Chains A and B, each alone.
Chain A
């Protein structure tokens, strides 16, 4: 008779930066059920927002998530502008998109590094994060901070981009092309990465639609949605870019979508910078108040659509502020993708959704009761994942993605 074991991942798991708890119910090596428990990150931000002014709430929502830290402010200011019929000068729209796309690049590089680490390729981690540092340098140059940029405000942006900084950014973007090509080739063509990620954690198109999946998680399954194209905002209707989709929805496709999206982000930023270089203009329409009303703001964060709803009664505070991060829709898809996989694969499948628990204000958790006579903790799970990679290397003679030693 097969043994049933429950394996908790979390709440303080070395491979996921945030406390969360996924409990895998395992029979022999196969995951038969996944429990998700949240709540370790819930800070009551929607309630806090009701006691902040419209300008203060931007700083509050920025700290919902450190990785997509400009996505929430962008969606939030758009919701406020929608509610109050506030216009935004064109120059500000280009700055918004430029900063947003720089964030996308740094976020995807971050994910790529962690994904490499989870399956035992620390070289990918070190290289991805090394190039991510260059993106953070540029963000610090433009906004004053590596993270938490404080760029957005209702009616525009808080800082302009200096003409003298533009060539520096353009050079960085040119210099990033080769490393991203390196990652693309290392990941997309490497047979060992294929063995670890192809046909692993498949999310079908039908399930992606049913769960309302978003972002690369959805597009990897062939669900062709992208808020930048479908609900144009910021400068996205004024630039050219392609929306990247795949078909199978496995971990491999999710990686491919994220890597190829980085090239599109570079394209978008280059087009924005050209406009900013050529034309001047105000960056803020200086709204004095938010008229009573309701507004919705949507932004395509690196993980998918961020949705903010704001209701104003004409005073200086929102009377209701709803925040919905993409991971709220994406994390439940794990119930479809993890059961049926092996324990060694569970960790990369969970990570493939690029969960941002702080955004979701949730932690995936598992049940408290423990049964079975074998209990693995989080270090064992990483070890299992890396051991699978080692086993594959031994069986196939393959050596993994070719990246120069750092």
Chain B
């Protein structure tokens, strides 16, 4: 463990400075949690910052189907600062697409497959996109975790 690690509020400030001052979501109640709004096109660059500049550990990603669109959350652990920084990326329901970060972050490879097959998010550039959990003959276009907001049938 580092000597005198930065307090978690300080590390969040430092991260935001490097990421172009993304909005700090009101959910970020304590220094231990920070939820940052990241535009989709800045995902790869922001992930690199977390990995290379701050030595963050990719924990997992979560796709959420909300009325406003698909939110894709990337959770990064800062083990030396007792902090979890979460990227929040909002995608339109009509274009659920993101660039894959699997090549720079092998830890993300499986979860991108899972988010595709359960939520229907396309990950451009994924090295091995195919079913992870569901059977190969699972009906195409059937994404079990979707809530179909606004659907009338």
A binds B: yes
**Residues of A in contact with B (beta carbons under 8 Å apart):** 38-39, 42, 44, 46-47, 82, 85, 209-212, 224-225, 229-232, 293-296, 298, 305, 307, 309, 311, 320, 322, 324, 328-329, 332, 361-362
**Contacting chain A: which of B14-22, B90-98, B132-140?**
B132-140
Chain A min CB distance to B27 (Å): 5
Q: Is the interface of B mostly helix, strand, loop or mixed?
A: mixed
For residue B48, CB closer than 8 A to chain A, the reply is no
In whole angstroms, what is the CA distance A295 to B1 when docked?
Answer: 26
Q: Is the CB of A309 within 8 A of B109?
A: no
Residues of A contacting B27 in the complex (Cβ-Cβ under 8 angstroms): 293-294
Residue of B nearest to A361 (CB): B133
124-153 of chain B: CB within 8 A of chain A: 131-135, 144-145
Of A209, A224, A324, which is within 8 A of B1 by CB?
A224
Given A307-B60, A328-B60, A362-B133, the answer on whether A296 and B79 have CB atoms closer than 8 Å is no
Q: Which 7 A-B pairs have the closest CB atoms?
A: A212-B107, A324-B60, A230-B79, A322-B62, A42-B133, A39-B133, A320-B64
Q: Is the CB of A322 within 8 A of B79?
A: no
Q: Is the CB of A320 within 8 A of B58?
A: no
Given A231-B32, A296-B84, the answer on whether A307 and B134 have CB atoms closer than 8 Å is no
Q: Is the CB of B133 within 8 A of A212?
A: no
Please classify how large the interface on chain B is, using the bins under 10, 10 to 19, 20 to 34, 35 or more: 20 to 34
In whole angstroms, what is the CA distance A231 to B62 when docked?
Answer: 20
For residue B73, CB closer than 8 A to chain A, the reply is yes
Chain B min CB distance to A235 (Å): 16
Q: Is the CB of A47 within 8 A of B145?
A: yes
Chain A min CB distance to B55 (Å): 9
Q: Is the CB of B82 within 8 A of A231?
A: yes
**Residues of B in contact with A (beta carbons under 8 Å apart):** 1, 27, 29, 32-33, 35, 57-60, 62, 64, 73, 75, 77, 79-80, 82, 84, 86, 105-107, 109-111, 131-135, 144-145
Given A44-B144, A82-B33, A230-B82, the answer on whether A307 and B59 have CB atoms closer than 8 Å is yes
Given A39-B133, A212-B59, the answer on whether A328 and B110 have CB atoms closer than 8 Å is yes
Q: Is the CB of A225 within 8 A of B57?
A: yes
Given A224-B1, A231-B32, A309-B73, the answer on whether A362 and B84 have CB atoms closer than 8 Å is no
> Can you list 13 A-B contacts (CB < 8 A)?
A39-B134, A209-B57, A212-B106, A230-B79, A232-B82, A293-B29, A295-B33, A298-B77, A305-B77, A309-B75, A311-B64, A324-B111, A328-B111
Chain A min CB distance to B47 (Å): 13
Q: Is the CB of B135 within 8 A of A39?
A: yes
Residue of A nearest to B134 (CB): A39
Residues of B contacting A224 in the complex (Cβ-Cβ under 8 angstroms): 1
Q: Is the CB of B62 within 8 A of A309?
A: yes
In whole angstroms, what is the CA distance A39 to B29 when docked?
Answer: 37
Q: Is the CB of B106 within 8 A of A210?
A: yes
Residues of B contacting A332 in the complex (Cβ-Cβ under 8 angstroms): 106, 109-110
Given A305-B59, A307-B59, A328-B60, the answer on whether A296 and B144 have CB atoms closer than 8 Å is no
Of A211, A311, A362, which is within 8 A of B107 by CB?
A211
Chain B min CB distance to A308 (Å): 10
Q: Is the CB of A320 within 8 A of B62?
A: yes
Residues of A contacting B60 in the complex (Cβ-Cβ under 8 angstroms): 307, 322, 324, 328
A209, A305, A309 — most chain B CB neighbours (10 Å): A309
Residue of A nearest to B59 (CB): A307
Chain B min CB distance to A72 (Å): 14
Given A44-B144, A231-B82, the answer on whether A329 and B107 have CB atoms closer than 8 Å is yes
Residues of A contacting B133 in the complex (Cβ-Cβ under 8 angstroms): 38-39, 42, 361-362
Query: Given A210-B106, A298-B84, A305-B59, list of 14 further CB < 8 A pairs?
Result: A38-B132, A38-B133, A46-B145, A47-B144, A212-B57, A212-B59, A231-B77, A293-B27, A296-B84, A307-B60, A320-B62, A322-B60, A324-B59, A361-B133
Residues of B contacting A229 in the complex (Cβ-Cβ under 8 angstroms): 1
Chain A min CB distance to B78 (Å): 9
